Amino acid sequence: MTTLLHVTASPRDDRSHSRRGGRLVVAQLGEAVGGLRVIERDLAATPLPHPDAGFVEASLMPDADRTAAHRAELALSETLIRELEAADAVLISTPVHNYTVPSALKAWIDLVVRPERTFRRTPMGKVGMLADRSVLVVSASGGNFDGAHAQTDFLMPYLRYVFATVGIHQVEGIRLQNTARGADSVAQAFERFRQELAARMLLVPLVA
């Protein structure tokens, strides 16, 4: 059985363009890949806590020194990391908030990117400890990142760097752009999205 981890970050439920785009990807994968199992991690339906002092203390100490209380602080992080480890591929559906990831997705990242658990600290820098796999990012933005008056893209470079830190280097993205410019603009964005998805189907070769 093939497993896909689908992380959704938009707080807008069915009004969310990134969620709609993510559902299109999952549907197309389900048709292309037999026996697809999807782990849904909805960061709006079940918000994650941002790291607090207890989590930071527990995450930074050697595993042999951790007490039961420290391990309790790390329990949610362990659950999220195991979901990622169990996945053959990852789909992230997210809006672009103020040029980068929304805080809900940042909380997921902060709980997953952990020293000596998902990356190792060495004199030469951080070395990822997870097996490489494919990640597809479906992002929706009110503005555009291409052409005239384009915004600077901080989201994809950041996510590529973050995933590379834990050992995951196959990170690609498909954008839904100009979604704040009326119904016609949204329709055009989804038409381009469908065309690009059909042409690329980035996850299929890696989960099939």
- List, for residues 9-19, the tens digit of each pLDDT value: 999 988 899 99
Q: What are phi and psi of 98, to 5 degrees?
A: 50, 50
pLDDT band at 23; cut points 50, 70, 90: very high
Buried-state track 48-66, b at ≥16 Cβ within 10 A, e below 16: beebeeebeebbeeeeeeb
Region 179-195 average pLDDT? 86
Here the tokens at position 8 are 């959704």
What is the per-residue pLDDT for 31? 87
Number of domains in the chain: 1
- List, for residues 42-78, the tens digit of each pLDDT value: 999 999 999 999 999 999 999 999 999 999 999 999 9
Between helix 183-200 and helix 17-32 the angle, nearest 10°, is 30
Q: What is the value of pTM for the model shown?
A: 0.93
Higher-pLDDT residue of 1, 201:
1
User: What percentage of residues in the chain have a pLDDT greater than 70?
Assistant: 96
What is the per-residue pLDDT for 59? 98
The yes-or-no verdict on residue 206 having pLDDT over 70 is no
- The reply, when asked if residue 16 is annotated as ligand binding, is yes
pLDDT band at 207; cut points 50, 70, 90: low
**Collapsing DSSP states into helix, strand and coil, what is residue 55?**
helix
Alpha-carbon distance of 140 to 111, in angstroms, equals 24
- The reply, when asked if residue 10 is annotated as ligand binding, is yes
Alpha-carbon distance of 2 to 203, in angstroms, equals 11
Q: Is 150 exposed, middle or buried (0-12, 13-18, 19+ CB in 10 A)?
A: exposed
Alpha-carbon distance of 30 to 166, in angstroms, equals 27
pLDDT band at 189; cut points 50, 70, 90: confident
pLDDT, averaged across the chain: 92
What is the per-residue pLDDT for 146? 79
Here the tokens at position 48 are 């994650």
- For residues 135 and 108, is the Cβ–Cβ distance under 8 A? no
pLDDT band at 204; cut points 50, 70, 90: low
Counting every residue, how long is the chain? 208
Alpha-carbon distance of 201 to 207, in angstroms, equals 11
pLDDT band at 184; cut points 50, 70, 90: confident
- For residues 166 and 117, is the Cβ–Cβ distance under 8 A? no
What one-letter code names the amino acid at 122? T
- The reply, when asked if residue 93 is annotated as ligand binding, is no
CATH number of the domain residue 65 falls in: 3.40.50.360
* 124 secondary structure, DSSP code: T
- The reply, when asked if residue 18 is annotated as ligand binding, is yes
- List, for residues 68-121, the tens digit of each pLDDT value: 999 999 999 999 999 999 999 999 999 999 999 999 999 999 999 999 999 999
Alpha-carbon distance of 200 to 165, in angstroms, equals 26
What is the per-residue pLDDT for 22? 96
Q: Is 201 exposed, middle or buried (0-12, 13-18, 19+ CB in 10 A)?
A: middle
- Domain, as residue range, for 119: 2-207
